Amino acid sequence: MLTGRMAAQSTFSPVIDSLVARGIDQTFSCQFDSAMDTFQEIVDRWPGHPVGYFYRAATLQSMMMHYETDRWGGSFYRLIEEAMNAAKKRLEEGSDDPWIHFFMGSSATYKGLFKVKTGGLVSGFIESQKGLRHLKEALEADSSLYDAYVGLGSFDYWSARFYKYLKWLPWIEDERERGVYRVKLAMEKSTFSYWVSVNSLAWIEYDRKNYDEALALFQQGLERYPGSRFFLWGVGDTYFRLDRFDRAIQIYEDLLKAIMNDRLNNGYNEVVCRFKLIRSYMGRKNYEKALQHCDAILDKKLDWKIEERVEERRHQTKKYREECLKALKG
């Protein structure tokens, strides 16, 4: 079961609980169409509740992360608004269900995170702040609703990480340690958010340069979801940071094969993956293989939007190519 350790139970029926768990499972397994169908079944069964709309939106966000695109951005915003409107209506009707605050808060934070990713750093954090208030209200109403801690903890950590850009906002403080504690708490005791917490904590530990801890978490995710890119990228990056270049190369080569076979390949993931392979092969002093990936990146034709996103990597690739040629000439 997706959740790993079930703690506080939801206020949903066993059928809805089972559908939520199945849909999250399918999302982490990158079976996005199946996940959307599963969460649509929740909408059909419970159209006045935010749960189905929220998880359909979360699945679209996962798809956009997987393919590195904003292609479904419009549908994502529509579903988030439907989730927030459903939650707002229930609160206005006097609902005392803490999960309504949870979904209102989670919807706002997801909306904020998407804004941050698409270039709206400040507006995204402000939107997320609105969501945090509802997550806190959910915990005030039910202290055992530990799912709320993953959003609160992630915000604590990453807002502090960007503190130098946001310190003029009165509610941004360096609360990274509290953030780590909260995500761990969600991982230990949440109802639906175990694997979300594992993934979140893994990237936090990676950012803190606790690479052994990060690797263990990423690998735990891969054991549960073999081939899932939500954990594969982390495993590869962590092996690279640990100078375990052979293992990093193995992961990145597998990722590249999968990316090249994607139904949607805008070139971004390919460039990023090849760039990581260049550095890994250079770490092994295999300059011939590194050179092959340099040429593949520099020869790649891309849409102008993707071109802007990979501009710095293209520039660095030219330098790596010169280094490879110099090394091969002896």
Confidence of residue 11 (pLDDT cuts 50, 70, 90): confident
CB-CB neighbours of 92 under 10 Å = 8
**Which one has a higher pLDDT value, 1 or 126?**
126
Q: Reduced to 3 states, what is the DSSP secondary structure of residue 68?
A: coil
Q: What is the pLDDT of residues 217-265, one digit of tens each?
A: 999 999 999 999 999 999 999 999 999 999 999 999 999 999 999 989 9
Give the predicted TM-score (pTM) of the model. 0.92
User: In angstroms, rounded to a whole number, what is the distance separating the alpha carbons of residues 152 and 156?
Assistant: 6
Total residue count of the chain as it appears in this document: 330
- pLDDT tens-digit readout, 44-93: 999 999 999 999 999 999 999 999 999 999 999 999 999 999 999 999 99
279 burial via Cβ count (<10 Å: 0-12, 13-18, 19+): middle
Percent of the chain with pLDDT over 90: 84
Which whole number is the average pLDDT over 152-164?
81
Is residue 50 a contact partner of residue 107, using CB atoms and an 8 Å limit?
Answer: yes
Residue 126 has, within 13 A of its CA and on its CB side, a CA count of 6
Q: Report the alpha-carbon distance of residue 226 to residue 97 in Å, rounded.
A: 36
The pLDDT tens digits for 110-145 are 998 888 777 777 777 778 888 999 999 999 999 999
Please report the pLDDT score of residue 124 as a whole number.
76
Which pLDDT score, from 0 to 100, does residue 118 have?
78
**CB contact at 8 A, 297 and 313:** yes
Give residue 3's pLDDT.
Answer: 41
Q: Is pLDDT at 27 greater than 50 in this prediction?
A: yes
8: left (phi over 0), alpha (psi -120 to 50) or beta: beta
* Nearest-angstrom CA–CA distance, 259 and 211: 25
